[in-house]
């Protein structure tokens, strides 16, 4: 096990924020986690688990021991009559893994194409896009307990998936290192095409029965058109969650802002489009220092060059206040703020 000191985390977070890890250890497998747990000093140190860094906002240097998860490998675990079970190491790039499943004839992740980050981070925030969430395809994951050093396999119930949420953001935060994730892709494959942007693609191309590769290509094109590429413009995807309100709250807002974009949910509550609300408050394209609101999508904050975490959070708070002032809704941040 190599213990590195004074490591810059700037290349390891997609927002490109500066921060230095006092101590960093790379994790290539379960055994590396056990070495950390058994280590006389590192075993007791507070720890921070870093995946692809696509969903974190670093506001200061990291005194904790940073565990950078780099577990590799992809495989088809099982081809059953009713499903493919596929597996990837937590350090694999999520989008590359999605492309790999399609190349191997396993369909069902295409709606989740082009999401930045690693496989291990996908269950942490229960990634979702275009009508599919990770939890819809989840089979199980392997993790190592940071207190006992034991490897465990966790099923969906323990992971407590919610909208961009899981136990790994709460009870299991800093407690379990996810090392491998397995997904269940139901057979026969059925496309998920209900999302408005995909319906538009069907209308524009006249292709009513796209195959999985076509859906993958459409999703990539939609995301490229709307969302900034972190390689070119630092960002962490959606910066806020879409708030869920009661029907009464929604009626009240519609009374004042009839155009508010909203989606009734099966349980009777209503999800509001935070991007629309931020846009309505006039934030699109605005900047605070080097932190800005993306000019093609107001739910995404971006790094215009040399932003620091505190600037990003100043901008985020200003947006939260103006949305609260106009709509009475408190927006929750989606990435983990460290
Ligand atoms: N809108 C505006 N102005 C904007 C941005 C959006 O009016 O500046 C409106 C759009 O016109 C649309 C509505 O808001 O009517 C919703 O926008 P969009 O379809 O882009 O989806 P979203 O709700 O903003 C969510 C996820 C995305 C995911 C897309 C597609 C959250 C927090 N975000 O965004 O996930 O890709 O749906 O499923 O749920 C992420 O989590 O990082 C992420 C990118």
Predicted confidence (pLDDT) per residue in 181-215, tens digit: 999 999 999 999 999 999 999 999 999 999 999 99
Q: Which pLDDT band, with edges at 50, 70 and 90, does 260 fall under?
A: very high
For the segment 132-186, what is each residue's pLDDT rounded down to a tens digit? 999 999 999 999 999 999 999 999 999 999 999 999 999 999 899 999 999 999 9
Catalytic residue among 34, 164, 182, 184: 164
Instruction: Report the C-alpha gap between 316 and 106 in whole angstroms.
Output: 39
Half-sphere exposure of 255 (CA within 13 A, CB side): 6
Q: Which of 275, 285, 301, 329 to mutate to test the pocket of ligand 1 (most atoms within 8 A of CB)?
A: 275
Taking CA atoms only, the protein residue closest to ligand 1 atom 29 is 129
For the stretch 298-319, pLDDT in tens is 999 999 999 999 999 999 999 9
Integer Cα distance of 50 and 14 in angstroms: 12
Summarize the confidence of residues 326-335 as an average pLDDT.
95
Produce one character per residue of 233-264: b if its CB has 16 or more CB atoms within 10 Å, e if not. bbbbbbbbbbbbbeeebbeebeeeeeebebee
Contact at 8 Å (CB) between 15 and 236? yes
pLDDT at residue 133, as a whole number = 97
pLDDT at 338: 94
Give the whole-number percent of the chain exceeding pLDDT 70. Answer: 100
User: 8 C-alpha vs ligand 1 centroid, how far in Å?
Assistant: 31
State residue 224 phi and psi, 5-degree precision: -60, -35
**Is any ligand 1 atom within 6 A of the Cβ of residue 242?**
yes
Mean pLDDT of 64-69: 97
For residues 7-17, give the mean pLDDT: 97
Angle separating helix axes 196-205 and 212-226, nearest 10 degrees:
110
Report the largest interatomic distance among the alpha carbons of the chain, rounded to a whole angstrom: 64
pLDDT of residue 1: 82
What pLDDT score does 45 carry?
A: 95
266-308 pLDDT, tens digit each: 899 999 999 999 999 999 999 999 999 999 999 999 999 999 9
Contact in structure between 72 and 120 (CB atoms under 8 Å): no
- Identify whether the C-beta of residue 235 lies closer than 8 Å to the C-beta of residue 316: no
Dihedral, CA atoms, 212, 126, 299, 322, nearest 10 degrees? Answer: 160
pLDDT, residue 203, reads 98
In the predicted structure, residue 61 carries a pLDDT above the cut 90: yes
166 is catalytic: no
Give the per-residue pLDDT at 332: 96
The residue contributing the CA closest to ligand 1 atom 43 is: 238
Average pLDDT, the chain: 96
- 36: pLDDT confidence band, cut at 50, 70 and 90? very high
pLDDT of residue 174: 86
Choosing from 130, 199, 238, 272 the residue with most ligand 1 atoms within 8 A of its CB, the one to mutate for a pocket test is 238
Let me know: does 283 contact 296? Beta carbons within 8 Å: no
Q: How far apart are CA 177 and CA 183, in angstroms?
A: 18
For residue 31, what pLDDT is reported? 96
To the question of pTM greater than 0.85 for the whole model, the response is: yes
Mean pLDDT of 63-83: 97
């Amino acid at each position: 096990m190599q213990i590195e000191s004074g490591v810059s985390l700037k290349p390891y977070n997609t927002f490109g924020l500066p921060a230095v890890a006092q101590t960093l250890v790379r994790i290539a497998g379960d055994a590396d986690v056990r070495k950390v747990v058994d280590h006389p000093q590192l075993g007791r140190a507070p720890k921070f688990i870093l995946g692809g860094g696509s969903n974190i906002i670093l506001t200061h240097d990291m005194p904790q021991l940073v565990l950078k998860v780099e577990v590799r490998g992809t495989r088809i675990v099982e081809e059953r009559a009713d499903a493919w079970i596929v597996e990837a190491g937590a350090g694999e790039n999520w989008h590359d893994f999605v492309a790999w499943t399609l190349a191997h004839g396993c369909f069902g992740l295409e709606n989740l194409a082009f999401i930045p980050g690693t496989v291990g981070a996908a269950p942490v925030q229960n990634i979702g896009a275009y009508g599919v969430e990770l939890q819809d395809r989840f089979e199980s994951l392997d993790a190592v307990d940071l207190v006992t050093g034991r490897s465990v396999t966790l099923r969906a119930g323990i992971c407590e998936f919610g909208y961009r949420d899981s136990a790994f953001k709460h009870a299991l935060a800093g407690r379990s290192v996810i090392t491998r994730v397995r997904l269940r892709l139901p057979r026969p494959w059925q496309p998920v095409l209900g999302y408005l942007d995909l319906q538009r693609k069907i209308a524009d191309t006249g292709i009513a029965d796209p195959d999985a590769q076509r859906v993958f290509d459409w999703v990539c094109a939609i995301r490229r058109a709307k969302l900034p590429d972190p390689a070119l413009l630092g960002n962490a995807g959606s910066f806020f969650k879409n708030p869920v309100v009661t029907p009464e709250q929604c009626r009240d807002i519609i009374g004042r802002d009839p155009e508010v974009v909203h989606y009734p949910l099966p349980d009777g509550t209503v999800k509001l489009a935070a991007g629309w609300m931020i846009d309505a408050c006039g934030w699109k394209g605005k900047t605070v220092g080097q932190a800005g609101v993306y000019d093609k999508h107001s739910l995404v904050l971006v790094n215009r060059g040399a932003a620091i975490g505190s600037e990003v959070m100043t901008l985020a708070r200003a947006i939260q206040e103006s949305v609260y002032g106009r709509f009475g809704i408190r927006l929750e941040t989606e990435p983990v703020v460290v």
